[in-house]
Structure 1
Amino acid sequence: MRYTALCLGLLLSAGPVLAAETPAKQLNSLLNKMDSMQAAFIQNTLDPQGKPLQTLSGQMLVRRPGYFRWDTEKPFTQQIIANGEVVWVYDPELQQATRQLLDKQVGNTPALLLSGDSAKMSESFTISEDKEKVAGKSRKTFVLKPKDKDALFETLRVSFSGSQLTGMQLRDSLGQKTDITFSQIKVNGKIADSVFQFTPPKGVDVINEL
């Protein structure tokens, strides 16, 4: 479903974390090491029985604080763009663009929250760590549970291999799971302001939810 992309989003790679720190502080330390990130993504959504429902692919960019872009390219096109103040969701096939205030979304939208002030994550999420071994390699996974009862998901898992972000997994209240894998990652490169600006094309129906 297309709304899934808005609930998804981005963490960035960083340096080592002290074991004595709480999970929230560890995740905060990782995030504070980055200013920007660019990556390709593949997003797979599965039903509660593990049956594939949808596979999406595209590109994402983020620049802290508050700048975010998630471009779905296949099998349909959609853009989600935040410029620090407002969030645009643009569906070219539907000829529709929705505009919302950024602060209305951060409580429910990990992608936007994690591109912003990481020190405030504990205000919206309960954060724990799930340590596991995969193919003989250590993998650090943070589990975020929203404190807001109206959140669009129940848990968000964010995984790192060493200091490198490897993916995210979102599970909703019905048991549907969305896995996102990142590749071609570039951290702390320069991203122009224009990347995060959006002007609705002529003839597009604009829904203003400010």
Structure 2
Amino acid sequence: MRYMVLLAAVLSQVGHTEELATKNLNQLLGQIVTMRAHFDQHTLDAKNKPLQQLAGEMQVKRPGYFRWETQQPFNQLIVANGQTVWIYDPDLQQATKQKLDKQVGNTPALLLSGDSKKIAASFNVSQEKTTNKQQRVFILQPKDKEAVFDTLRVSFIGKQLNSMQLKDALGQRTDIFFSQVAVNGKISDSVFQFTPPKDVDVIDE
């Protein structure tokens, strides 16, 4: 009987902790209406061997608008206008068109641009303890078994997003660091529009 009471208390505390973590994350993300930043992206294998390094610029506007443009070492553009996501590879002369999932979704860009109130529907959320009082770190685990990552680590310094870390089932890790961050400035909707060039192959998914 005592064991059952203790177990119920532990489960209740876990639920409360997850609810509080989700509330704290929603509060931080909810303050980001627009965001511009430079990003540096590093991918490592399960043995921490570097696989790829990328850099570029990103812009986000809630709800459902984002532009993620890789500039080095190759060009790639991912852009969404609230309804459609385009992935454009100039070197391959190819553009892929997809319907935007209006849920928070399985990608960091959708997490930033989506409805923060839907996070609990898509992720189990916990909050790490940190020694830096200004830093807040959240761990998100997708509820969708087909998600492209197992865990997503989101880090804030104060109210500003400063990094993300994705890990997949094979142990591969991708670290994304943000710099030159500007929040809640004006961004035109035209930034999130894309028309494929005439000589580009279009794949409609």
Query: TM-score w.r.t. structure 2 length?
Result: 0.88
Alignment of 1:87-126 (within 5 A): 87-103=85-101, 106-126=104-124
Matched, 1:45 2:43: yes
Per-residue deviation at 1:202?
Answer: 1.2
State the alpha-carbon separation in 1 of the partners of residues 168 and 191 from structure 2: 31
Per-residue deviation at 1:113?
Answer: 3.2
Aligned to 2:189: 193
Structure 2's unaligned 5+ residue stretches are 1-16
Runs of 4 or more, structure 1, over 4 Å off, are none
The SS at the match of 1:151 is: coil
Per-residue deviation at 1:107?
Answer: 2.7
Spell out, residue by residue over 1:71-124, the C-alpha distance to the aligned partner (whole angstroms, 9 max, x if none): 000000000000000000000000000000001785322311331110001101
What amino acid maps onto 1:73 in structure 2? Answer: Q
Aligned to 1:153: 149
- Aligned residue pairs total 188
Judge conservation of contact 2:60–2:112 (CA < 8 Å) in 1.
no
Compute the RMSD of aligned alpha carbons.
1.6
State the alpha-carbon separation in 2 of the partners of residues 107 and 116 from structure 1: 8
Judge conservation of contact 2:66–2:81 (CA < 8 Å) in 1.
yes
Matched, 1:205 2:192: no
Judge conservation of contact 1:43–1:55 (CA < 8 Å) in 2.
yes
The SS at the match of 1:28 is: helix
Query: TM-score w.r.t. structure 1 length?
Result: 0.86
Per-residue deviation at 1:165?
Answer: 1.4
Matched, 1:162 2:158: yes
Which has the larger Rg? 2
State the alpha-carbon separation in 2 of the partners of residues 182 and 133 from structure 1: 21
